[in-house]
Chain A
Amino acid sequence: MRAALFLVLFAALGLAGCGDGDMADQPSLRDQEASDIWGIGTSVRPLPEGAIAQIAPATEAALAVPPPVSEALLHRGQEDFETFCAPCHGFAGDGDGIIVQRGFSPPPSYHSPRLRAAPASHFIDVITNGFGAMYSFADRVTPEERWAIVAYIRALQLSREASLAEFPEASEKLR
């Protein structure tokens, strides 16, 4: 009798597991999953009007103070520059990237006297807010990455105006 009761209970439990539950597609929503919960066909929630990101103060703080320049920072800057900026600005910053060759309006060269003289904060501002035809990259480039990119742009600029006298070791090697 006892055993039969257990069997029935067990079977009931098993059946309860069937139902409409497809384990591969659970009711919880995943990133960018197709769903009609917000009426726009995706699980990405539209921002309510006037919403401010929780990380906004941290972002602002990170953008206010430049980090110390190191070799690691420059390497990171190079990688991010080549992903996000070089398609238009070119790998050397002359403003002749592949997207420009395909018809995008040409950006100014980073080696122009005006952009050489521009403060780092101007570059940060352009990445954050966009500039004319150039869209904002705030959605793709974190504050740390923005500083790394600017450091790399500075290195690119320096590479055009450096003189041998500034690098005695290099002139040694040339002889």
Chain B
Amino acid sequence: MPQIFRPGANAYARIVLVCLVTVPVISILVVYVVMGSSFVTGQNVFVDQSPPFSHQHHVGALGIGCKMCHVSVEKSAFAGLPTTHVCMTCHSQIWTNAPMLAPVRASMAEDKPLKWRRVNNLPDYVFFDHSAHVKNGVGCSSCHGAVDTMPLMEQAKPLTMSWCLSCHEAPEKMLRPEDQIYNLHWSPPKDQEEKGKALIAHYAIDPKHLIDCSVCHR
């Protein structure tokens, strides 16, 4: 009876054994990298709007504060996107004939609200609250980047669960005093560690519960 396995089969067997270990590891790595890439998270993708709205122009050059347009950012979970009335506060007299602003005028004339395409958009099964962050020492730029340099809005951070948790696990690294919340170019000072601990006490934050699932999934 001839032998079933020829000597070369040993090599195949070794290759199969190696593959049994490496293929799953490599596939997991690939999936991990792809899921964290901006292709999946939507990070750094500019979103066109109608009308085209520039934070670089309005915030950077004109210095208008966020709350003029995002009225409820300190008061509720939802930051609020501006209505036609808000744009018309200034554009009733400025650039009144600009084609770029035609959608605002049409919205006014037809009494139909402006429609803004969402840039940062969490899945509906995640609960997020602006007021809880903005009133407790987390500034806009920690999550939205330097919007005053953006001609069109982009999602500045991955907004994945691990990104949220990276701060919830150690908020003291990112906390600011009240007068720095709207500073879009804030970076942690050298003594952030001490300052952060003092700020946790100042805002009465209880870091122990911040990584409970029920904080974000209710």
Seen from chain A, the residues whose Cβ lies within 8 Å of a Cβ on chain B are 23-26, 28, 30-32, 34, 40-42, 44, 80, 82-84, 87, 98-99, 102-105, 133, 135-136, 139-140
Contacts and interface: CB of A to CB of B under 8 A. Distances in A.
Interface of B: 62-68, 71, 78, 80-81, 83, 85-86, 88-90, 92-94, 112-113, 115-118, 123-125
Given A23-B123, A25-B124, A42-B113, A133 B92 contact: yes
B62 A103 contact: no
Contact of A139 (B71, B81, B94, B118): B71
A41 B112 contact: yes
Nearest to A43: B113
28 contacts: A23-B124, A24-B123, A24-B125, A26-B124, A32-B80, A32-B81, A41-B115, A80-B67, A82-B65, A83-B64, A83-B65, A83-B66, A83-B67, A87-B62, A87-B90, A98-B62, A98-B63, A99-B90, A102-B62, A104-B93, A105-B93, A135-B88, A135-B89, A136-B85, A139-B71, A139-B83, A139-B85, A139-B86
B100 to A, nearest CB: 15
Main secondary structure of the interface of A (DSSP, over half): loop
A56 to B, nearest CB: 18
Contacts of A87: 62-64, 68, 90
B159 to A, nearest CB: 12
A83 B68 contact: yes
B182 to A, nearest CB: 9
Given A23-B123, A23-B125, A99 B94 contact: yes
Which 7 pairs between the two chains have the least Cβ-Cβ distance?
A24-B123, A83-B65, A31-B78, A26-B124, A135-B89, A83-B67, A140-B71
A40 B112 contact: yes
Nearest to B111: A46
Given A102-B94, A105-B93, A135-B92, A34 B115 contact: yes
Contacts of A44: 113
Contacts of A26: 124-125
B62 A140 contact: no
Given A31-B78, A84-B67, A139-B71, A103 B88 contact: no
Contacts of B67: 80, 83-84, 140
B181 to A, nearest CB: 10
Contact of B90 (A25, A32, A82, A104): A104
A164 B83 CA distance: 47
A140 B86 contact: yes
